[in-house]
Structure 1
Amino acid sequence: MCPNAHRLATIAQRIDGPTPDPAEGVFETTLVVDGKAVEVDAHLARLESSLDALYGLPLPAEAAGLVANAAHGTALGRLRLTAVPAAGAATASVRVAEVDRALVFPDWDRAVELAPVAVPGGIGAHKWADRRLLERAEAEVGPAVPLVVDSDATPLEGSRGNLFLVCGAVVITPPADGRVLPGITRARAIEAARGLGIELREQPLGPDDLADAGEAFLTGGVRGVEPVRRCVGVSEWDFGEVTARVAAELRRSWLG
């Protein structure tokens, strides 16, 4: 094991939380802007895929209508759509809450701190409604955001967003290999970076990448692009040009 991997494995708190209870279902979270859910079709498609893969059930027919009705009249908010398996079908429910504008595409003064936590096999490719494992991780390292690493110290993702590192002129994010959530905003950030002419690679990260990167950011369905200031015991980063460019591109798409 390389020195950085050994250090990361040593400082990462192992989280032996309960496995998610499938009976609680799966969910999607997205931003609402001017009465409309952002990237709604992509979120519905991912929820549909999870329901089929996990339960062999279709997306409830009323899901899109519930989202549209709940988002209506909300200037800026967070929408959560939950689907719960029932007898031969799934039921859908929606809730919306207002969001502080400063939390959406936050400035550097709100950059987050990551703290590594070891979750063997990662969080996985589905957004489980049962979030006891993540809540336990957040309680252990808060107010830092948990950085999920595998048992071999491979960095995977943040507890609330996919991880991107800027290494020289290249942006790297872990592949959607079943250990991380295939984030909708992750996909949009990849498209944005490549559209800006930035080289982007989807490849496994190592502890050396964390130590050597010049910038880091998370992507998520509500915060958009969230700059990262440091990873406890590993590295500190600056708010650099690449993070700013990707954030600006997505901000224009979402907020106009």
Structure 2
Amino acid sequence: MAAIAYVNGRYLPLHQASVNIEDRGYQFGDGIYEVLFAHRGRLIDAKLHLARLERSLAEVEIAAPMRASSLGAVISELLARNRAQTALIYIQITRGVARRDHAFPHPHVPPSLVITVRRKPLPPADLGAWGVGAITLPDERWARCDIKSTNLLPNVLAKEAARRAGAFEAILLDEQGLVREAASSTVWAVTAGGVLVTRPLDQHILPGCTRAALLELLGELNVRFEERALAQDELRQAREIFITSATSFVKPVLKLDGLPVGQARPGPVAEALYASYRARFGE
């Protein structure tokens, strides 16, 4: 069965789906996106993701192409047409099609909406099979990383640098050597003193939806937690490091810059958070 995409009101075979060459997403990266995970047809953390989508649109002044309820109906239909019950849903909204000019088009044009679905199984129950390596790099992205923009070239270059180093992810550091986030995920660490730390939200990091969901679970797990900046040296001495996102869930980092993290195996905090988060899937 051919994969089906939703493009500006039409359900099309993926190989036939296309957008206008003057779409501002193609010309300028003038758009935003969102990624959701569905398990057994149910969207995980849907309210968090749709709220972030709405916020990103507002920050860049793109009109929502449809109401949230209609968007949910389109996603459900797309899952059905792709016969995909456990999958990633990618939503991209751009400012629309207009003659190439940096300023917003006047009069305004309708925004473009593209949604695709890709099957993705649940990660393994054994986190030992889910661990990865990471490298550290200077953060070279723009100053509004709290917006989930399609301007991802610095992220692409960071992920490629990680791949060439034999790692999965790149952890990005600010000018003072403090951890911001990774190229496509939130960074957490359990310090040498046993405290779980992640950076507080600001304009330099994306407000991760999996991050928000895990913060709700911390009270149940009796984990010492601090929301603060983490220095590179503190990161290197951490007992545990893990990354989170809608695609990584809770993924332990077992090597950092080629050196083992802790005992080079998933730690108890990552395992506890992963088990609690996986329970949200009904597993």
TM-score range, shorter chain: 0.7 to 0.9
Q: For the Cα contact (< 8 Å) 1:114–1:146, is it kept in 2?
A: yes
Structure 1 match to 2:119 = 98
Name which one, 1 or 2, has greater alpha-carbon Rg: 2
Q: State the structure with bigger RCO (CA 8 A, min sep 6), 1 or 2.
A: 1
Structure 1 runs not aligned, ≥5 long: 1-19
Choose from 197, 202, 213 the match for 2:222. 197
CA distance in structure 2 between the aligned counterparts of 1:46 and 1:21, rounded to whole angstroms: 24
TM-fit CA distance, 1:52:
0.5
Q: For the Cα contact (< 8 Å) 1:185–1:219, is it kept in 2?
A: yes
| Bigger helix share | 1
TM-fit CA distance, 1:112:
1.2
Structure 2 match to 1:173 = 198
Moved over 6 A (4+): none
- TM score, norm. by length of structure 2: 0.76
Structure 1 match to 2:17 = none
Structure 2 match to 1:69 = 77
Q: For the Cα contact (< 8 Å) 2:65–2:111, is it kept in 1?
A: yes
CA distance in structure 1 between the aligned counterparts of 2:92 and 2:182, rounded to whole angstroms: 21
Structure 2 match to 1:118 = 138
Structure 2 runs not aligned, ≥5 long: 1-25, 97-107
CA distance in structure 2 between the aligned counterparts of 1:34 and 1:109, rounded to whole angstroms: 23
CA distance in structure 2 between the aligned counterparts of 1:105 and 1:126, rounded to whole angstroms: 32
Q: For the Cα contact (< 8 Å) 1:113–1:230, is it kept in 2?
A: yes
Q: Name the stretch that deviates more: 118-127 or 22-31.
A: 118-127
Count of residue correspondences: 236
For residues 6-85 of structure 1, the aligned pairs below 5 Å read 23-55=29-61, 57-58=63-64, 60-61=66-67, 62-72=70-80, 73-85=83-95
Residues 31 and 228 from structure 1, CA distance in 2 versus in 1: closer, same or farther, beyond 3 angstroms?
same
What is the percentage of aligned positions where both structures have the same residue? 20
- TM score, norm. by length of structure 1: 0.83
Structure 2 match to 1:214 = 239
Q: For the Cα contact (< 8 Å) 2:188–2:198, is it kept in 1?
A: yes
